[in-house]
Amino acid sequence: NNYSLSVKESLRKRLLDEGLQEDEENPDYVISVGGDGTLLRSLHKYENMLDKVIIVGIHTGKLGFLCDYLASDEDEIVSAIVSCKHIVDEVSLLCLKSGEKMYYAMNEVRIESPYKTMKSEIYINDKLLEKYHGNGLNFSTSLGSSGYNHSLNGPLINPNMETIIMSEVAGINHNAYRSLKSPLVLGEKDVIKVSGNFFNC
């Protein structure tokens, strides 16, 4: 919106006046002006450079849980970037591998079969946990635990804890099939493998 654009231009001008250079291809800082959606898009745009890029979120949108600053904090933002005196909060990302493709998420990853029952086997660290039948599975970080995970009756987790939460989406439970039913909280280093015929069951 126009307000976000005006905040962006004001901050851009001040940083250039301080001698910083603009480099969209190889930045040291990525400044996201908007809401959580804008910040997440910035994360995905630079996901191959996250080990060396600092993302600064400025809240001018509707939801700003992930943004540390307001537009009124412009002086503080400029001072922190110019002086390199800032606190960096590191967050863990979910990594989903499908074939040769890798996907990353800050909040959650969902595997769903929208047309037929999803039939799959779930392994935790190469050990079979269950044979799942249902609509899908949701995997959430602690930071994303208040999103779709929570609507599935998943637990709210302190964002400072490094966990993976697996919640079932409409799991089937009767005499033939009995899913886990309860959400499962795992450690950040646990590896979850979901195998099966998801879309042609």
Active-site residues, by number, are 36
Largest CA distance in the chain: 70
Residues 6+ apart with CB under 8 A from 187: 162, 163, 164
Residue 48, CB half-sphere, CA atoms under 13 Å: how many?
Answer: 4
SS (H, E, C) the chain: CHHHHHHHHHHHHHHHHCCCCCCCCCCCEEEEEECHHHHHHHHHHCHHHCCCCEEEEEECCCCCCCCCEEHHHHHHHHHHHHHCCCCCCCCCCEEEEECCEEEEECCEEEEECCCCCEEEEEEECCEEEEEEEEEEEEEEECCCCCCHHHHCCCCCCCCCCCEEEEEEEEECECCCCECCCCCEEEECCCCEEEEEECCCC
